[in-house]
A and B are shown apart, each in its own frame.
Chain A
């Protein structure tokens, strides 16, 4: 601890000194521009290296699969050839099998996420606005994050029967508590100074909410949406694995029981791409809002 304190203090002194010295130098020689150019060039070279390594790793993984499958495990049904997987994807898309599975699960995920949002928004807003309520409920909300909600699915099936109804309820239950936690945090993170400033400038209440509070809470809210969507997908797919009549989990289970491995690979690959696209889009949106929101 002592070492850390000493390091922080020394670092602060060094930073102050460095800044003072560099200010003098840059003001005299105009070296700021040169530094910025160098930093940009270095940054570009790092980004290039990262892209090259990423591409190399992807190629390496593909080649390894092709070599292992083509040379060592040619007749192993567990490792279908890339062409067989591609054919299965085309056939799956053409016959509508993949689209049916993805759209069925996707619709339940959408309804579940929207439902959890509708429930979490007002409750989260009330909890977030009240400090005593927030202090009392935060540990409970954090702990509820740890519950694997799919364990209630069998109870829901016995109550509501086999079909989509228990999946909808499971989707909402899987999403509502994580979403609530993020909404509460988003409301708590709204800087009081911004609200006070708006009030000083004579902003009406409605304008303060929509022009100050909502934009300030948006990044955390979007992070919540991203995490919640992931958790809802997990809940719904596990529910479909356990007992259902359609959807991604059901189709994967059914096809793997038929030993249709190329179809399983193709379906997993297709759904991976769809989910990655969804997750990355939400992440990009969140980053965009965060950058725009920075004071």
Chain B
């Protein structure tokens, strides 16, 4: 494809995106306009939603709750990545261990871990450890899954070849294993970032004294404040989208530099 063709295709794609965005906005305005008789729906027009989100951000207590959630989320990402990647590498490296772990890893992948949240609360109490711990538990299987699959499908002959070329263990890992696993590692990390936020918010909604999840629940149950609920919902929708987009950009740069294809999210 020539450069001009490339530009034309990109232009067409962006035109479709802009039209889709405008169509979605028009549909949203039309629906909220149609039900305008109900006072609660007036909070849901595009302008009202944007105004609510801004009001929530400007509130003095918001920063404290945001920082609490971000702190718990950060800890959860870090620990779930370390645990998930280590587990995926160790379990996938051996035929017997991968056979033993396979049903556990894949069944925990789809299992709603929310059901186990009461246990975290019972054993760890309501605090940072409980929230981050639950988020780690929710995310680590999603991190371990792609790494585990990547490790299992690793071409062993590449490793044997590197050994016959005299590469030592560290060199084999840095020059053969890690580059081959890079797409799986980045995919696992992307899952980990998203799911750990879901875990943190889930724990904050269940029992907490601060954080954005707690703020959302409080504005629903204590105040029934529609404007604040809508604003918080928008922020909590945009936060993971932002993190997802930024990490996606970073992983694309890493993979493009190494000349490796990106792993499919649905594989």
Contacts and interface: CB of A to CB of B under 8 A. Distances in A.
14 contacts: A11-B155, A11-B157, A49-B99, A78-B123, A136-B17, A146-B243, A151-B236, A154-B217, A230-B109, A230-B110, A234-B113, A237-B112, A241-B206, A242-B205
A62 to B, nearest CB: 15
A118 interface: no
Interface stretch (A63-71, A191-199, A200-208, A271-279): A271-279
Interface stretch (A32-40, A50-58, A83-91, A209-217): A50-58
B173 interface: no
A264 interface: yes
Contact of A10 (B13, B161, B201, B221): B161
Interface string B157-190: 1100110010000000001100110000000000
Contacts of A261: 122
Interface string A248-272: 1100110010000100100010011
Contacts of A168: none
B99 A46 contact: yes
Interface string B16-50: 11001000000000000000000011001000000
A135 B121 CA distance: 44
Interface of B: 9, 12-14, 16-17, 20, 40-41, 44, 95-96, 99-100, 103, 106-107, 109-119, 121-123, 155, 157-158, 161-162, 165, 175-176, 179-180, 194, 197-198, 201-202, 205-206, 216-217, 219-221, 224, 226, 229-230, 232-233, 236-237, 240-241, 243-245, 248, 258-259, 265-266
Q: Which 4 residue pairs spanning A and B have beta carbons closest together?
A: A50-B99, A136-B16, A230-B110, A154-B220
- Where chain A touches its partner, the secondary structure class is helix
A221 to B, nearest CB: 11
B24 to A, nearest CB: 10
Contacts of B9: 135
A143 B113 CA distance: 22
Contacts of A233: 112
Interface residues of A, number: 68
A133 B17 CA distance: 9
A238 interface: yes
B163 to A, nearest CB: 11
Nearest to B106: A283
B207 to A, nearest CB: 10
B237 A271 contact: no
